[in-house]
Amino acid sequence: MGKIYKGWELIKAIADGEIKNGSRFNVHRTYSAIAVLEDRILHFEDGSKRILTTDDLLIYTFELIEDEIDIDSIEEYKQEYTERCIDIAIRNKMNEILQAVKQIDKRVKKLEKKKYVRILHKMKLHK
């Protein structure tokens, strides 16, 4: 879990250079959203790139998303040297687990995308 900021704390941290460009935040509000800092501008990462307003900063809290592991960049373990049978079994199990994690990650990304599309659709209906 990353550090949680109130809006004014986040502005100060950005101004003091404590928050690096490209940092991402979970925005805690009525529904989950993600914001990203680009060139000292904080905007929602939902396709609209709507910039957060002063009101947004006053009412929401922001949780810094720690560096995430790029699951797709993890490669299967390959035999490099002669291995004992137990090492082969462990390697095979590690590769199975890796494949399961990658499948789950793909499913989560699909669900998040569907969720954002529904949210954007609802927002357009209310305007």
Span 4-60, pLDDT tens digits: 899 899 999 999 999 888 888 888 876 678 888 888 888 888 777 889 888 888 888
Q: What is the mean pLDDT of the chain?
A: 79
Q: Residue by residue, what is the 3-state secondary structure of the chain?
A: CCCEEEHHHHHHHHHCCCCCCCCEEEEECCCCEEEEEECCEEEECCCCCCECCHHHHHHCEEEECCCCCCHHHCCCCCCCCCCCHHHHHHHHHHHHHHHHHHHHHHHHHHHHHHHHHHHHHHHHHHC
Q: What is the pLDDT of residue 32?
A: 72
pTM of the predicted model over 0.75: no
